[in-house]
Chains A and B, each alone.
Chain A
Amino acid sequence: MGLDSLVGGTIWDEYSDKVTELMNNPKNMGEITTEQAQEMGGKLIVADFGAESCGDAVRLYWVVNPNTDVIMDSKFKSFGCGTAIASSDVMAELCKYKTVQEAVKITNIDVEKAMRDTPDVPSVPPQKMHCSVMAYDVIKKAAGQYLNVDMESFEEEIIVCECARVTLNTLKEVIRLNDLTTVEQITDYTKAGGFCKSCIRPGGHEEKDIYLVDLLEEYEKEKMAAGSTLGGAESSIEFAKMTVVQKLKATEKVIDDNIRQMLIMDGGDMEILDIKENGENHDIYIRYLGACNGCSSADTGTLFAIENILKEKLDQNIRVLPI
């Protein structure tokens, strides 16, 4: 708030010179055909992300050396605004000569930083950050196609704010530790919600699984519950009908009440990374910590015990997958 927000501005004035230059003359814009890829001795990967009906769409072409996994050439085509085109161009450039495994480590923040004129001045205004996120998503899509895995598997944790890459765990922790009650506070502490604003509440540019307002509400309820009924009744909602946040809470609670203690006694611990719907199944991805990590029963006895308790307490279709 204050003077800057009162006057507003024209977003183009906040573009770096590099963004302007790349919009006017994108270097890696173009196509690669199956024949051209064969001539280069590589495999053609064509990945799409976004949709015209949403306002942003990008197609990424890679030629990958099947022996070394090195991306020999990388080009793009994009339906989008200036920053979408410039971000796609930088993204295609950053992919070149990396292995596919290295390329998936490029994030939207790398793309945005590569477009800066000076290191500490952002290259695009906040509401344009989501354009660089698309550039990042299409890399994961292409890598997923090449490696024949789901693109989601490259993301180890649940990202709530994609523009600033803030994870669910970070947000929960920051909200709880600092007793945050407003979205503005969350943005001040973590930068989440400060860019395209889609993650703040439903109705933004993009649809999300988890919104910042949900997390605040969740925390508010948690405080209320702690204040009134200690160890109150179990949630009456069926697990399958819960939101992702509710599922996480419910799973977290069962683990806290029934499992964590056992693990800690053995010098270990675990954390929930993600919950995904897979047909009828609820796949719960976990990571072992401390002594559990590498323990021989982590993939057998302990795992079965965790899964059975969750099945019994929450839903028969739960599967637990350690990563």
Chain B
Amino acid sequence: MKVYLDNNATTLVDPHVFEEMEPFFVKKYGNPNSLHAFAGETHPHIKTAMERIYAGINADRKDSVVITSCATESNNWVLKSIYFEYILTGRKNHIIISEVEHPSIIATAKFIESMGCKVTYLPINSEGLIEAQAVRDSITSKTALVSVMWANNETGAIFPVQEIGEICAEHKVLFHTDAVQAIGKLPVSVQDFNVDYLTFSAHKFHGPKGVGALYMKKGKELMPLFHGGSQMGGHRSGTLNVPGIIGMGKAMEQAIDALDFEMSEIREMRDNFEDELLKISDTFVVTPRKYRTPNTILISFRGIEGESMLWDLNQAGIGASTGSACASEDLEANSVMEAIGADEDLAHTAIRFSLSRYTTQEEIDYTLATVKKAVARLREISSSFAYAPEGHESGLTLAH
């Protein structure tokens, strides 16, 4: 059996989405900005897709939702343009982000920090949450931007973007949120709270890879990161990714239709799965469910290094994830687990299961049985529970 429980990393393309995209490769391949009938074949479809995207986040027609190549581009755009327009010119000298932002924010912030911008990294608390008050405390008269993600990719923790938006409005500071993990999992309406910029990406909600977007409120448009042929109203040059935009439009429409299902059925399936996992001894979940996206579980199994758990799951055909040491190219501990700082012994034990509307109960049952077997096997190997003679001083684990 093959089970995909890594939907916070990427999702399958919904077959209906693929169906809508398909004609735009071989049959209708015109550049929508050209002046001939080939362009005319694609143009109306782009318009429909853009309308669906606007509707999906409830953007006003006068706002700009600019299609980019991915969320990383959108996030780079916001921070680098803020740097060029506000920091380099000396109007402001400071931005605020959280310490658990996606690397596309953290690494970009570090880059502009190296170019002279002051950066505040807001800490998360022991539940993996950001306190809005911390934003208020960090704002100075020289703060140009606050950028705090809507929901965290690792824990699913939902951050108080409405409250942070209010604080930013009060202090006349620009506010950006990376909503990559929110679209399709939570209601997102840019007109219902104060937000100037919002990032999202199609492949996280059953759209194609290689298409992202940046919402910019009317009057808050940033200088472009891509200069060129003035596509996208001059905000982002480059030939339009026609099939990608059409795919994103359809995926957005479907995500909105499926939102109730996500917030009820998927949540229930996730909750039951989590209840069962927590029956295994010495397992821990950090963020309370009510503050989490409905599809995500980040769980620690004491004494089991994350990659070895992924290994056993993978041998059984199950795809999950860990940001912990050894699993990825770099060897860092899970940054969220480190930031929480509750129990260092657990920093390398976190496993993330992220569900989607395609996850079945059968898959969850199979995964649960596999996890139980893997926990038993790996704890048998683990030094954490191993015998030591009387008086043996161990430095392997911290006292607990």
Contact = CB atoms under 8 A, between A and B. Distances in A.
Nearest to B345: A52
A146 to B, nearest CB: 14
Interface stretch (A79-87, A240-248, A296-304): A79-87
Contacts of B48: none
Nearest to B392: A46
Interface stretch (B130-138, B226-234, B376-384): B376-384
Nearest to B348: A55
A128 B394 CA distance: 25
B329 interface: yes
A50 interface: yes
Contact of A55 (B329, B331, B394): B331
Contact of A84 (B305, B349, B397): B305
Nearest to B347: A53
B17 interface: no
Interface in A39-56: 44, 46, 48, 50-56
Given A29-B380, A52-B348, A127-B329, A79 B305 contact: yes
Interface in B343-386: 344-345, 347-349, 380-384, 386
A170 interface: no
A59 interface: yes
B395 A48 contact: yes
Interface in B288-344: 303-308, 311, 314-315, 324-327, 329-333, 344
A57 B392 CA distance: 16
A31 to B, nearest CB: 4
Contacts of B331: 55, 127, 130, 196, 204-205
A182 interface: no
Interface in B123-144: none
A33 B396 contact: no
Contacts of B397: 51-52, 57
Given A24-B315, A50-B396, A127-B331, A77 B389 contact: no
A51 B343 CA distance: 13
A44 B388 CA distance: 10
A51 B387 contact: no
B26 interface: no
B382 A34 contact: no
Contacts of B303: 52, 79
A57 B383 contact: yes
Interface in A132-159: none
Contacts of A50: 396
A216 interface: no
A96 B326 CA distance: 29
A32 B386 CA distance: 10
Contacts of A82: 307-308, 311
A80 B305 contact: yes
Contacts of B37: none
A109 B333 CA distance: 25
Nearest to B331: A205
B398 interface: yes
Given A46-B392, A52-B348, A81 B383 contact: no
Contacts of B386: 31, 59, 77
A196 to B, nearest CB: 7
B153 to A, nearest CB: 19
A48 B388 CA distance: 10
Interface string A71-82: 000001111111
B396 to A, nearest CB: 4
A77 B383 contact: yes
A44 B396 contact: no
Interface in A1-58: 8, 11-12, 23-24, 26, 29, 31-34, 44, 46, 48, 50-58
Q: A8, A11, A48 — which one has the most chain B CB atoms within 10 A of its CB?
A: A48
B308 A81 contact: yes
A59 B392 CA distance: 11
A63 B135 CA distance: 58
A196 B57 CA distance: 43
21 contacts: A8-B329, A23-B308, A31-B386, A53-B347, A55-B333, A57-B383, A57-B384, A59-B396, A77-B382, A78-B382, A79-B304, A79-B383, A80-B326, A81-B305, A81-B311, A81-B326, A82-B311, A84-B308, A85-B308, A127-B330, A205-B332
Interface of A: 8, 11-12, 23-24, 26, 29, 31-34, 44, 46, 48, 50-59, 76-85, 127-128, 130, 196, 204-205
Interface of B: 303-308, 311, 314-315, 324-327, 329-333, 344-345, 347-349, 380-384, 386-390, 392, 394-398
Given A53-B347, A205-B331, A205-B332, 7 more contacts: A11-B329, A46-B388, A51-B395, A52-B344, A78-B382, A79-B382, A85-B381
